[in-house]
Amino acid sequence: MIKSNTNYIANSFSHIYIENSVFDFPITQYIIDRFPRSKIVRIENYNEVFSRKNQNPYLQKLSPSLIVGEKKEGFFYKGSRLCHNFEEEHFYYTNFILNCLFDCDYCYLKGMNLSSNIVFFVNLNDYFNEIARLLNTKNKLYLSISYDSDILIFDEIYPFLNEWYNFVEKNPKITVEIRTKSVLWKKFIKYKSLDNLILSWSLAPSDIIVQYEKKTPSLEARLNAISQLLKRDWKINLALDPLIYTGKPWKIIYKEFLEYLVTKIDINLINSITVGVFRIPINYLRRMKSFSNSPISFFPYETVEGVASYPKDLKEEMLNYVVLFLERYFNRDKIYIK
């Protein structure tokens, strides 16, 4: 038993729930060792904790727990129609980590998951085996590995990056994309850049970061991280997605942002840019509304084919504005719009 001292909000990962089947995995023990003060609770299946119906994910964000489990099926999925597919025929995503420590008001995870607790699936070799089997049936595969979490911030406690790097290096038919808002560029210094490993940075105007992307690094820090890796020949994508409507001053906010962006990084070295306005399945939005205190959840969106987004005219105006700006500096063929 561990007795703690203070009487207030518990630290993140004060409780670690571990599936019995992975308890003795070396990686599980490594994770436990990172949190010597945490309470360890053994469970049968991660869903016992993660998918309980009566959770309050907004309060859980104050002190998320960690769940360590084993993925038994569904090691990869076809990319959602709401995602950019970079015109890739075989576009998939995988999720060996669920949920995120950042707290973005617009994040679809808040509508998709019943919990804000973080899940690590630690049987990475099963993922690699299943993806290798899929690779045998395809000439080419584009795989995003960080749609359901900003995974890089977890690499210190669940070291997956080296494993993925080695897998990607050995499998030239696969292109892996890691999307992030983090500034952990130093992690990549020890690696040689790979043509089939793309790092994708989500960027937004500072006003939006401050108001709607709580706990995330500043725009300046993100741009610095990008610059550092561009210098080292890494393939970098930019995701100006989601564009957020902030009322009448939105054009000024985005103009300042885009001007700052092109002065801070050499945009011609960027591999591609994705642009998209906020969009979310309507059932996710409904769930977000039950706990949210953000205007993003309550904007009067239009719903088309089950997807809520800005009214058509506004959406087109926002996309055109941003794309027209980017076109002045960047090859239009490498700008993907959603």
- Binding interface with other proteins (CB under 8 A): 1-11, 14-15, 17, 39, 41-44, 48-49, 52-56, 59-60, 62-63, 65, 289, 291-295, 297-300
Q: Which of 318, 229, 319 is nearest to 265 (CA)?
A: 229
Q: Which of 203, 194, 160, 159 is nearest to 176 (CA)?
A: 194
Q: Which of 240, 248, 247 is nearest to 209 (CA)?
A: 240
The minimum distance between CB 321 and other proteins, in angstroms, equals 21
Contact 117, 110 (CB under 8 A): no
- By beta-carbon proximity to other proteins, the closer residue of 43 and 100 is 43
Q: Which of 244, 231, 263 is nearest to 205 (CA)?
A: 244
- By beta-carbon proximity to other proteins, the closer residue of 63 and 171 is 63
Contact 64, 118 (CB under 8 A): yes
The minimum distance between CB 33 and other proteins, in angstroms, equals 19
DSSP code, position 203: -
Q: Which of 6, 70, 69, 62 is nearest to 37 (CA)?
A: 6
- By beta-carbon proximity to other proteins, the closer residue of 4 and 331 is 4
The minimum distance between CB 210 and other proteins, in angstroms, equals 15
- Give the span between the Cα atoms of 101 and 264, in whole angstroms: 27
The minimum distance between CB 285 and other proteins, in angstroms, equals 10
The minimum distance between CB 2 and other proteins, in angstroms, equals 8
- By beta-carbon proximity to other proteins, the closer residue of 223 and 277 is 277
- By beta-carbon proximity to other proteins, the closer residue of 2 and 189 is 2
The minimum distance between CB 208 and other proteins, in angstroms, equals 14
Conformational region of residue 194, where left means phi above 0, alpha means psi within -120 to 50, and beta covers everything else: beta
- By beta-carbon proximity to other proteins, the closer residue of 4 and 80 is 4
